[in-house]
Amino acid sequence: MYALTACRRSLRRPLLILGLALALLGGLVVMLGDRTARPASAAQSGSVGDVVFAVHGGAGNITRQNTPPELEAQYRAALETALRAGAQVVDQGGEATDAVKAAIVTMEDNPLFNSGKGAVMTTDAGHELDASIMDGRTLGTGAVTGVEHIKNPIMLADKVRTTSRHVFFAGLGAELFAIDRGFDLVTQDYFFTDRRWQSLLNAKGGKSEFNFGDLPPTTGTVGAVARDGQGDLAAGTSTGGLTNKPVGRIGDSPIIGAGTYANNRTVAVSATGTGEFFIRQVVAHDISTLMDYAHMRVDRAAQGGIDKVAALGGDGGVIALDHDGNLATPFNTTGMFRGYVTSDGGVVVKMFGDE
Amino acid sequence: MYALTACRRSLRRPLLILGLALALLGGLVVMLGDRTARPASAAQSGSVGDVVFAVHGGAGNITRQNTPPELEAQYRAALETALRAGAQVVDQGGEATDAVKAAIVTMEDNPLFNSGKGAVMTTDAGHELDASIMDGRTLGTGAVTGVEHIKNPIMLADKVRTTSRHVFFAGLGAELFAIDRGFDLVTQDYFFTDRRWQSLLNAKGGKSEFNFGDLPPTTGTVGAVARDGQGDLAAGTSTGGLTNKPVGRIGDSPIIGAGTYANNRTVAVSATGTGEFFIRQVVAHDISTLMDYAHMRVDRAAQGGIDKVAALGGDGGVIALDHDGNLATPFNTTGMFRGYVTSDGGVVVKMFGDE
């Protein structure tokens, strides 16, 4: 028995070396085959190349049939405004995190989107806002959840990132922090829109009762990803959550790794959808690790993340911008408000699944 | 030019097939070499085999020099109590999630640990508790943050997992949910211990001022990982957070993917340490993806997670139990309260770095 073990041990190293050599050779041949087929600078299938900035304004049941032309024009204009705000920062040599903030602020301020002004209402007829941001260069992050009196939650999330040893604040504590850091507070009426009020009343069905997660939700979120002139990536997400959501419910938007993630090694990701499934699958970080450890391209990795959400019964989408400027925007809903800007200044806006 | 492209295209498939074949052959040879060296059932270097249950009670400056013998005995006894509570559930055919809960409840109830009774105090001289749990079979999760009146936060986190379409609740909302689900509330004095009160006063240095993350923190957390008779994994974590922590500060303990993660494909992980760094590195999920996508063993993957925390300047540790029963417990502090139970019923408890 001892002799057998010794014999097996002595076999180990040559076998290992032979195996590694064969694997390496195989890898080189695969790379060669891959190179002959696709010039390195071209866009990858399932992704768009040369992108410097992208946004989303939520995924959901967005179809040509249920979108009046005037509303469609408003959404397209609002997405373009956000895209130009972000791209301008990049163009002028600004940082990716600043570009992300600049774009998200325009969407938070626009009542069309479920974030900041126009956010959906909780089951207690209030607004509780979540936001997060991540710097792919430093892995620095900031996030807030359940803030009720901050006009632009993404700005507060970024203030957490830049001025605290902590990275995530909730509710009252987030607002005490905001006051300490010089933020103005707004009262809840600032966020109010009749559209969201009617949605809440409709969801509650005439019963002034707390919902604790027993009713199906409707979703919406905004987010942005950027790649600046230094090649640094950043991602940010902001949301009002779900219509009639339970008080204190936290979705994926403020969770680093779930709704937001950025790492210069790989990719910047912002997600939207039924957040619970994105939390369970740690989607944004999963996309990064599929690229980092499984060597997937951004389009396959991002689709893999959405497939994992779908496998649990969830839906939504992501925008994922890799370190080479390739953007993937997979979603498993009928549509997703989205758009991007290329390095030559071209702006593309899309809403529906068939465009 | 067209002819050249066509020629390159025609070369692509045979090169791809040849490359894949070589890579496959190489992989088989490596596997063969690996098999000859190590019987599959043996413990891996850096990990312990045949483990069914493990806990931690926090990592930090835990040395023989600064631990009086009576206190050491108390900690060892408390860890053994937690281990036996969890292992008993597994022995009797219970589910991994139930084992995790059973062990963590004993630590939440024990004032030695920074969770439940005996939790540290916030900068506003209160207790804000965080907990989370994950089922590796379903990827079902539940988490709560900032709860102030729940005796056993891990039980509330599990109730979120099992009875809500949502997965994460904060503060008041978490407690409204608890009331709806029949939990009794306790008042804050329940959690009070003079030891934590003195620590708070010491940290505040005589100033009754809010801290917003401008002071260095001290840490402590409890957690458990289990592998039940069905081979299902689960992980859970519970904490009072940091002494003098800002109101509303959320650390890694309630964040799925950062402080807690379980997936039957790979591993169950519970973390402890300076939580912000675990959030930024998405440590628990990173360990899982290193195993899943980079095919690392649990010891290397877990060490990789701690190394990433250390690279940013953070410290702490994890307990990581893989789907084959191999346990790794790396930490970069001087000690970590920890222990495990093997399938034959053996109980091992450790505290210091040199054991």
Please report whether residue B38 resides in a domain. no
Rounded mean pLDDT for each run of 10 residues along chain B, 355 residues in total:
41 52 50 38 69 97 93 97 98 98 98 96 97 98 98 98 97 98 98 96 94 78 97 98 96 98 98 97 98 98 98 97 98 96 97 94
- Tell me which residue in A36, A173, A248 faces B249 most closely, judged by beta carbons: A173
**Length of chain B in residues, anyone?**
355
Catalytic residue, from B97, B221, B243, B333: name it: B221
Nearest chain B Cα distance for residue A261, angstroms: 9
Q: Do B8 and A181 touch (CB under 8 A)?
A: no
Please report whether residue B9 resides in a domain. no
User: CB–CB of B214/B240 below 8 Å?
Assistant: no
Report how far residue B22's alpha carbon sits from residue A122's, in angstroms, rounded to the nearest whole number: 58
A269 pLDDT tier (thresholds 50, 70, 90) = very high
How confident is the model at residue B14, as a pLDDT? 52
b/e A176-185 (16+ beta carbons within 10 angstroms → b): bbbebeebee
Please report whether residue A205 resides in a domain. yes
Residue B51 phi/psi, 5-degree rounding, is -90, 135
Spell out the residues 6+ positions from residue B19 whose beta carbon is closer than 8 angstroms to its own: A26, A27, A28, A29, A30, A31, A32, A33
* Span A38-87, pLDDT tens digits: 333 334 459 999 999 999 999 999 999 999 999 999 999 999 999 999 99
User: Could you tell me which of B261, B191, B260 has the C-alpha nearest to residue B222?
Assistant: B260
User: Could you tell me which of A319, A323, A354 has the C-alpha nearest to residue A340?
Assistant: A319
Nearest chain A Cα distance for residue B72, angstroms: 31
Report how far residue A38's alpha carbon sits from residue A41's, in angstroms, rounded to the nearest whole number: 8
* Token pair of A198 as six digits: 């009617």
How confident is the model at residue A123, as a pLDDT? 96
This model of the complex carries an ipTM of 0.86
How confident is the model at residue B220, as a pLDDT? 82
Please report whether residue B129 resides in a domain. yes
Q: Do A257 and B285 touch (CB under 8 A)?
A: yes
| Chain B residues within an 8 Å CB radius of A32 | 15, 19
Q: Do B172 and A171 touch (CB under 8 A)?
A: yes
- Tell me which residue in B25, B169, B289 faces A248 most closely, judged by beta carbons: B169
- Tell me which residue in A248, A250, A257 faces B257 most closely, judged by beta carbons: A257
pLDDT for A16 beyond 90: no
**CATH (domain of A144):** 3.60.20.30
Q: Do A256 and B279 touch (CB under 8 A)?
A: yes
Beta bridge partner(s), residue A349: A339
* Helix spans in chain B (H): 2-37, 69-91, 96-108, 153-163, 171-180, 194-204, 275-280, 283-292, 298-311
Mean pLDDT of A313-329: 97
Please report whether residue B36 resides in a domain. no
Spell out the residues 6+ positions from residue B311 whose beta carbon is closer than 8 angstroms to its own: none
3-state helix, strand, coil in chain B (%, to 5): 40, 25, 40
How confident is the model at residue B56, as a pLDDT? 98
* Span A173-184, pLDDT tens digits: 999 999 999 999
Nearest chain B Cα distance for residue A71, angstroms: 31
Q: Do B170 and A250 touch (CB under 8 A)?
A: yes
* Span A17-48, pLDDT tens digits: 555 555 555 444 444 433 333 333 334 459 99
- pTM flag (> 0.80): yes
Please report whether residue B213 resides in a domain. yes
User: CB–CB of B151/B107 below 8 Å?
Assistant: no
| Chain B residues within an 8 Å CB radius of A292 | 293
Residue B121 phi/psi, 5-degree rounding, is -110, 145
- How many pairs of residues across A and B have Cβ atoms under 8 Å apart? 262
How confident is the model at residue A215, as a pLDDT? 75
User: CB–CB of A238/A151 below 8 Å?
Assistant: no
Spell out the residues 6+ positions from residue A2 whose beta carbon is closer than 8 angstroms to its own: none
* Token pair of B125 as six digits: 């001289």
Report percent pLDDT > 90 for chain A.
85
* Span A153-173, pLDDT tens digits: 999 999 999 999 999 999 999
Give the start-end residues of each E strand in B149-262: 168-170, 222-227, 233-239, 260-262
Q: Do B12 and A36 touch (CB under 8 A)?
A: yes
Nearest chain B Cα distance for residue A19, angstroms: 4
**Length of chain A in residues, anyone?**
355
Active site members of A: 221
Residue B223 phi/psi, 5-degree rounding, is -160, 165
| Integer angstrom CA distances of residue A84 from A118, A134, A275, B285 | 21, 21, 28, 35
Q: Do A139 and B245 touch (CB under 8 A)?
A: no
CA-based nearest residue in chain A for residue B257: A282
Please report whether residue B29 resides in a domain. no
Q: Which domain holds residue A248?
A: 51-352
DSSP A221-279: -EEEEEE-TT--EEEEEEE---TTBPTTB--STTSBTTTEEE-TTSEEEEEEE-HHHHH
Q: Tell me the pLDDT of chain A averaged across its residues.
A: 90
- Which of A10, A149, A212 would you mutate first to test chain B, the one with the most B CBs within 10 A? A212
Domain count, chain B: 1
Q: Do A30 and B23 touch (CB under 8 A)?
A: yes
Spell out the residues 6+ positions from residue B92 whose beta carbon is closer than 8 angstroms to its own: none
Please report whether residue B43 resides in a domain. no
How confident is the model at residue B17, as a pLDDT? 54
